[in-house]
Amino acid sequence: MPERRARVRIRRSGELGGIAGHDTDDNAVEYWKIAKGKNALKSLSSEQRKHLVKDVLDGVTIGDDVKVVLDVLTTADGSMKETIDSVSWRRVWKKLWGDDCRTFIRACGRTYWSAASYEEKRAEVKWLADGRTNDIAQETIIIILRTCTSAEVSRLDKEVGGWLGLSFDLTGAWDDEFKKMKSGK
């Protein structure tokens, strides 16, 4: 039997209230509440998912906004990468803070990065390793590396880590795991 789609219409930014459509994120939260109340999150189309995440990220992302992003991304693995790519992994990563970001990378990281190309992984690891590498950045690097072969891990270490390697950016358990991945253990 075909899956039924939620019959709630997402309005475009130009149709929304507030000054210059600045209620977009509030309207997205209301839409999410209706869909969630009808147990219809899994039936949202790819376009609906993309619009919800984009609209919520356009404002300050706190409270229910975070729940919208995480719910929308984790209720349909089949469209997760496409939905994240519509706004970019990095944008979601930057908009979510602390434990919310950690929840995002843990819930979505393996699925997202397993479907990514080597070049996408390389670009993200390079960006994360450039400058101060806090614990969430280190965990994100490791989650990305977990989706790579041992040869790819070694290649990333050489291409991104520079002469000091990625061990310079990783500490403690993250560095221990990195060394095991690099050696193929």
Region 125-140: mean pLDDT is 94
Confidence of residue 86 (pLDDT cuts 50, 70, 90): very high
DSSP string, 66-127: HHHHHHHHHS-GGGHHHHHHHH-HHHHHHHS-HHHHHHHHHHHHHHHHHTS-HHHHHHHHHH
List, for residues 149-174, the tens digit of each pLDDT value.
999 999 999 999 877 889 899 999 99
Distance CA 148, CA 18 (A): 45
Q: What is the pLDDT of residue 23?
A: 64
Domain ranges in the chain are 9-115, 118-185
**161 and 168 in contact (C-beta within 8 Å)?**
yes
Residue 159 or residue 33, greater confidence: 159
In contact, 89 and 69? CB cutoff 8 Å: no
Taken in order 145, 146, 152, 157, the sign of the CA dihedral is positive
The per-residue pLDDT for range 40-84, each reduced to its tens digit, is 888 888 898 898 889 889 877 888 888 989 998 988 768 899 999
